[in-house]
Amino acid sequence: MKLSSTNLLLTAASAAVLAGGLQSCKSKAGGVSAASNDAAAKVYVAPGKHDEFYNIVSGGFNGQMSVYGIPSGRMFRIVPVFSQHPENGWGFSEETKPMLNTSHGFVPWDDLHHIALSTTKGEHDGRWAFGNANNTPRIARVSLSTFKTEEIIEIPNSAGNHSSPFITENTEYVVAGTRFSVPLDNGNTDVPINTYKDNFKGTVSFIGVDKTTGRMNIDFQLLLPGINFDLARAGKGASKDWFFFSCYNSEKANTLLEVNASAKDKDFIMAVNWKKAQAYARSGKGKKAAVKYAHNVLDEKNHTATSTIINEVLTLDPKDCPDMVYMMPCPKSPHGTDTDPSGEYIIGSGKLAATIPVFSFAKIQQAIASKNYDGNYDGIPVLKYDAVLHGEVQKPGLGPLHTEFDGKGNAYTSFFVSSEIVKWDIKSLKVLDRVPTYYSIGHLSIPGGPTAKPHGKYMIAYNKITKDRYLPTGPELTQSAQLFDISGDKMKLLLDFPTVGEPHYAEAIPAALVEKNSKKIYKIEENQHPYAAKGDNMAKVERKGNEVHVMMTAVRSHFTPDNIEGVKLGDVVYFHVTNVEQDWDVPHGFAVKGANNAEILIMPGETQTLKWTPDRTGIFPIYCTDFCSALHQEMQGYVRVSPANSNVALHFSTGTNKPAADVAAKK
């Protein structure tokens, strides 16, 4: 009874709010269209011309990153990260399967929410894009030169890895915080759920990033109360040694959180002095905990990934590390915590709050120095709200989520419930402008918006409800983004564009910082894959027990070999295909009929391997799956599979119908 009435109430409430949101938008829709007369010219990128910005967008529940051009809103790539990608064999080829390994085994999917583009001195350096896996906690690093995922590291003692990945000013650390508290891996994990308050803990992990290679390692973890960490931002300038994490469910509810985690008027933003934490870790204040997590690395020397299981992590307990962690009260269930370009102002966005609190880093330091506390939370000092507050933006809108900056002293905050973006002055806290979004915006993105040096000009809204914005595609709809011009005093809507997956957060970066480093091909002479065939004359087929290894070349417009015999039922066939092309944009694809596997898509100079276990005897065609040349349709071949007891010898050839054995013998 209680349940269903609660349910009805809340559903009705949410529905009313949404309907309200929609109506308010509807009534303004005409105005928007009228206001966008010059928009067409502003978003049009003429054929052959390039966009001004790369927009690196999280794929949400598709588990990938996608790359868009701004201002055109055109999508250039889906970069596979945490999910299998049949299109190019990611997670299907022997070389990439290890990238999706975890302590739970092979995981073919995840939920990538946030992007962090690497920075030096707080400014974009165009090197790497980091992304988080929410469901099976991991952090990924994508190269902005190859646009490939180079590394994935799993996070132990974690669940719902949502407060991730956010970075320090010089990308010294990527952080990962738990949205879902759980019992620590090395304790007793089989406990009643309703012992949450006693047994469930949160953690925040600091993952070191190598300056040169980008290689990640978990430097230390903070052991924290069983609270939900939502988002985070590092400080900048004066506050650069600090990291700020938004916290909700300070009620520590373990069921029906929509009610039970929304009881208190204030939750927290947690301030961490990461420099001090690092010093504690170095000075032996930490404890090593037994855990199990995977660290997966792609090596472009042989285009092959390896997965290593690691069994230990260093943990720091605030009880043993004074002056490392503080709590700041923040109204109510904060989603975003964002640091302005100067680093002085920290903005909290309480998604159930009617105000936006702006905290002052200087005041935070004073409050800490004078121990101006309001008690503690699980032993962590709580700073007095008034003592650390610069001020509040009054009645800005309903459901503030996230704030970014234009570098001109203005903040832009997204409002999910009232479905709008509000522009306000960081110092005066005055609201300057507001614009509706269609519909129910989550995050927003301004190029360089989270950095010390925003690039400004545009703002993109990532909206959660699409409804009638595009031609309908049945019950399942795209998610929608909206592009705004923020170069003037007033925000101007320019374009609606659809997105893939469920983009949550994104960053945009000037094309000039990335374009110049973009890799075109892999040099064939540098290919160290053990089964690479770097020319047709190196192609061969070898048997190792019941394994048949085909070292095959692909070049316009044939495979070598393209006729293979002597495979037997019970064999496992490995097609190691090397694309010997050395021109940009000449991939070859490879597939074999009936394989319980995807294709492989091989870039110039690369070797990829498709594993195939024939399920019957007969003739199996192979072909190039990528339209590579005028004679692409002719780029095919055949594999003969004989019975297990057959005496057909291993043969391979291309371009001759002589008994293949002769050809094999010649080599």
CA gap 128, 148 in Å, rounded: 10
87 binds a second copy (CB under 8 A): yes
Between 319 and 490, CB nearer to a second copy = 490
CA distances from 172 to 141, 255, 503 (A): 14, 37, 26
Between 238 and 619, CB nearer to a second copy = 619
Q: Does residue 47 have a cis peptide bond before it, meaning omega lies within 30 degrees of 0?
A: no
Binding positions for a second copy, 374-413, rule CB under 8 A: 399
Of these, 211, 312, 627, 649, which contacts a second copy (CB under 8 A)?
A: 627
Q: Which of 415, 439, 429, 263 is nearest to 354 (CA)?
A: 415
Between 60 and 318, CB nearer to a second copy = 60
Between 68 and 173, CB nearer to a second copy = 68
CB of 425 to a second copy, least distance (A): 26
Cβ neighbour number for residue 319 with a 10 Å cutoff: 10
Residues 6+ apart with CB under 8 A from 523: 582, 605
CB of 305 to a second copy, least distance (A): 16
SS (H, E, C) 149-178: EEEEEECCCCCCCCEEEEECCCCCEEEEEC
77 binds a second copy (CB under 8 A): yes
Binding positions for a second copy, 515-534, rule CB under 8 A: 515, 518-522
What DSSP line would sit under 176-218, residue for residue? EE-SS-B--TTS-----GGGHHHH-BEEEEEEEE-TTT--EEE
Per-residue x/- mask for a second copy, residues 258 to 287, rule CB under 8 A? xxxxx-------------------------
Q: Which window, 158-166, 208-216, 267-275, 382-390, contacts a second copy (CB under 8 A)?
A: 158-166
Between 201 and 276, CB nearer to a second copy = 201
298 binds a second copy (CB under 8 A): no
Of these, 643, 644, 649, 662, which contacts a second copy (CB under 8 A)?
A: 643
Between 530 and 618, CB nearer to a second copy = 618
128: left (phi over 0), alpha (psi -120 to 50) or beta: beta
107 binds a second copy (CB under 8 A): yes
Of these, 504, 529, 549, 576, which contacts a second copy (CB under 8 A)?
A: 504
Asked if 334 and 246 count as a contact pair (C-beta separation under 8 A), the reply is: yes
131 binds a second copy (CB under 8 A): no
186 binds a second copy (CB under 8 A): no
153 binds a second copy (CB under 8 A): no
196 phi, psi to nearest 5 deg: -45, -50
Binding positions for a second copy, 538-597, rule CB under 8 A: 555-558, 560, 562-563, 565, 583-585, 587, 589, 591-597
Of these, 58, 93, 132, 143, which contacts a second copy (CB under 8 A)?
A: 143
CB of 462 to a second copy, least distance (A): 9
474 binds a second copy (CB under 8 A): yes
Contacts 24+ apart (CB under 8 A), 548-552: 548/572, 548/573, 548/574, 548/650, 549/574, 549/576, 550/574, 550/575, 550/576, 550/652, 551/576, 551/578, 552/576, 552/577, 552/578, 552/590
23 binds a second copy (CB under 8 A): no
Of these, 39, 411, 421, 513, which contacts a second copy (CB under 8 A)?
A: 39
Of these, 20, 208, 214, 257, which contacts a second copy (CB under 8 A)?
A: 257
CA gap 390, 359 in Å, rounded: 5
What tokens appear for 148 in the block?
């490939």
Q: Which of 102, 155, 94 is nearest to 309 (CA)?
A: 102
Strand-strand pairing, 216-224 and 304-316: parallel
CB of 306 to a second copy, least distance (A): 20
Per-residue x/- mask for a second copy, residues 204 to 233, rule CB under 8 A? ------------------------x-x---
CB of 617 to a second copy, least distance (A): 5
